[in-house]
Amino acid sequence: MKRTITLLLLFAFTSLKSQSFTVGLFEDGTVIAASDNVNTTTEYSLIGYYVGAQVSTKWISPIVYTSPNPYLNRIGVNIGLFQNGINVGVGGKLNVLPTSEWEIKPEVILRVHPIKLLRQKNRSVDVSLMYCIGDTKSMGLGISLPFRFFGW
C-alpha cells in the first residue's frame, strides 16, 4: 500500500510540471511528496508545496497489518533556500481522533538536501533528510529528483 500511494503521489507531482520533487517517508508512516519549486519559466524559484498520506503499518508477528484506508493527512507550502539545499515547509496536519472526529494542527517541515546545498545546483539527484515539528516530532528520509533525470 505504501508503494501504491508513493507512486500515485509521484505521478501527481510529475504531471504538475515542477522542476524537481522529493518523495519521502516519515517514521510515523506518512508518505510525503513535495514540489521543490513550481515555477517552470525560470531555472529556480523559491515556492513549492507538499502533500502527505498516512499509511499505518503494524508488525504483529508473523503478520504485517497495513491499514486498508490510507488518507491524505498533510498539506502545505514550502520555501526553498540556497538552491533548494534547505526547504522550510509550513502547513497543517490532519489528525483523526478515536471518536471519528478530526482536528488540524499546524506543522513545520524542514528538509535538507546535502548535495544541493554543497554544489548549489537545484537540479541534482539528492537524498532528503526531513524533520517535522508539529503536535509530534518525527524524522524522515527521502529522495529528491529533477525532471531532467527523467529526460523531461
CATH of 2-148, one of 2.40.160, 3.40.50, 3.30.110, 1.20.1300: 2.40.160
Instruction: Give domain limits for the chain.
Output: 2-148
pTM of the model: 0.72
- Report the pLDDT value the prediction gives residue 142, as an integer from 0 to 100: 92
* Cα 10 to Cα 14: distance, rounded to the nearest angstrom: 6
Q: CB burial class (10 A; 0-12, 13-18, 19+) of residue 80?
A: buried
Per-residue pLDDT tens listing for the chain (152 residues):
667 766 666 655 554 444 678 888 888 778 888 887 666 556 667 888 888 887 765 555 565 555 556 677 888 998 888 888 899 999 998 877 777 778 889 999 999 999 888 888 777 788 999 999 988 898 999 998 876 544 44
DSSP 10: H
d(CA 135, CA 87): 20
